[in-house]
Amino acid sequence: MRSDGWLETYRGTVFRWEVDANDHFTVAYYLARFGDAATALLHTLGLGPAPTLECYIRYSRELRVGDLMHVDSAVIAVEPDGLRLGHKLVESTDGALCTTVEHRLAVTLTSEQRRAADARRATWDGPPRETRPRPKSFAGFRDTARDAVTPMEVDGHGRLALAAAIHRFSAANGHALAGFGLTPKYMREQHRGFSTFEFQLGFEGGVHAGDPLTVRSALTHVGTSSMRILHVMTDERSGERIATLEQSGVHLDLDARRPAPLPPTLRDQALKILVPTE
């Protein structure tokens, strides 16, 4: 560990099977790496793996097949219910910062462990999180994903694994976008995609293998090229909330690799299904 409190917690590459329809690193696999990074950092503190409460993630530069990366992590806050870790994902060949994460975990700490973690606390310079109002009910939401939990998707704390949650939210995002015309056919023919630049991810409930899960999604913001979608995952039998994701992204020109304005007809369709927030 460096004297400033930062520790390298992951080093690897983007494998061919880890890219999506936009030809860049799939967000679920980012989360798998950050889960590994958190476990590595907790190990240095003498702690075992811990369940995630929240992740605030900003994606600032895309990664593509074969890119090399590493993650530096540090304790950035010691809180009453656990720890807040900071992760910085860096492209290893040129040192460019690609992604930052504020990662809250539920950890029960002894007084000694709390003092040790606080002594290794590092300064965090990631972008500030914006807290936004959300819809108060499911009015205007659409069913966007439905399946059952498999045994391999449940972590040691009885929670849905990070990557497993994001794979479902990614599928839900496709259905939500198609609801106003951003269909796979449109994306292929126009060389367009959806590129995420922010996640606000939260976990609330546990799961068991076989539990039926449903994701409902609502479009909550439409800009010139940007969109924001709120996804809510629940247990279909009990209605208990398992996880939520506020996902912000842009309409992407796949040739220029830059945001592109939404065509007026699609933007008009999006505005018609916009769900108000309070």
Cα 196–chain centre separation: 9
pLDDT beyond 90 at 2 = no
Averaged pLDDT, 215-230? 98
Within 13 Å and on the Cβ side, how many CA atoms surround 101? 29
Domains in the chain, CATH or no CATH each: 1-129 (3.10.129.10), 130-278 (3.10.129.10)
Specify the pLDDT at position 54. Answer: 98
Hunting for tokens 């590994």 — which residue is that?
A: 36
**pTM of the model as a whole:** 0.95
pLDDT tens string 155-204: 999 999 999 999 999 999 999 999 999 999 999 999 999 999 999 999 99
pLDDT beyond 90 at 5 = no
- Reference 90, options 179, 12, 17; nearest CA is 12
